[in-house]
């Protein structure tokens, strides 16, 4: 294992352990605050299509923000995890149209649009565990969003990349590898950080 991968693994364990201590009330309050902060984010206000995800467990909550975007007429694409951990996409039609999927994920029940559908997004909301002062993101390590970011880069697509985090997950430095891509902004319950 390379030094960067080892550092990432250690940091992931620390961050996930910290999240595990959050109560459901903490998570719900943070989700409402993230939705309020996200409403004012220029990258979301100007977007016609947003690729996002449904948060699970103690991840920073996305559901209130997804519903706000949908109510404003934004086309929201949600990922569908494929057997090889790549992502297909489908349109979010509301919480009643989400289905349980493998790994405890919630996915849209609608028509699958294909992995390239993410290229139509003006903004991509990425899950993450941390982002550093340079905008480098630390994900969970499954590689699904690394593929998404590579697909966007290969197509010359240039959507805004935004991560939703808790305030203490904006850190001084995360280890990076050659395939990692910086993001433009992080939304936390306390505010927006730009890079």
Residue 181's nearest CA partner among 152, 134, 143, 149 is 149
Q: List pLDDT tens digits, range 141-180.
A: 888 999 999 999 988 889 999 999 999 999 999 998 888 8
CATH code for the structural domain at 3-194? 3.40.50.10420
Cβ burial of 115 (10 Å; 0-12, 13-18, 19+) is middle
Q: List pLDDT tens digits, range 55-96.
A: 999 999 999 999 999 999 999 999 999 999 999 999 999 999
Tell me if 51 sits within 8 A of 144, measured CB to CB: no
Predicted TM-score (pTM) of this structure: 0.92
Tell me if 73 sits within 8 A of 61, measured CB to CB: no
Q: List pLDDT tens digits, range 124-151.
A: 999 999 999 999 999 988 889 999 999 9
Helix axes 24-39, 63-71, angle to 10 degrees: 30
DSSP helix, strand, coil percent of the chain (3-state; round to 5): 35, 25, 40
d(CA 154, CA 145): 14
């Amino acid at each position: 294992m390379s030094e960067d991968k080892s550092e990432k693994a250690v940091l992931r364990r620390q961050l996930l352990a910290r999240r595990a201590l959050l109560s459901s009330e903490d998570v719900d309050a943070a989700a409402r605050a993230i939705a309020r902060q996200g409403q004012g984010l220029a990258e979301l206000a100007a977007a016609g299509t947003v690729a996002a995800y449904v948060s699970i467990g103690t991840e920073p909550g996305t559901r209130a923000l997804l519903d706000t975007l949908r109510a404003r007429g934004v086309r929201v694409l949600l990922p569908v995890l494929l057997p090889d951990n790549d992502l297909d996409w489908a349109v979010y039609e509301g919480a009643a149209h989400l289905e349980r999927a493998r790994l405890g994920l919630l996915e849209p029940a609608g028509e699958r649009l294909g992995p390239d559908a993410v290229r139509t997004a003006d903004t991509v909301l990425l899950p993450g565990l941390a982002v550093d002062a340079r905008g480098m993101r630390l994900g969970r390590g499954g590689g699904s969003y690394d593929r998404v970011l590579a697909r966007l880069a290969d197509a010359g697509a240039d959507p805004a990349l935004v991560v939703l985090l808790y305030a203490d997950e904006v850190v001084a430095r995360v280890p990076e590898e050659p395939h990692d891509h910086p993001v433009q902004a992080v939304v936390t319950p306390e505010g927006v950080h730009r890079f």
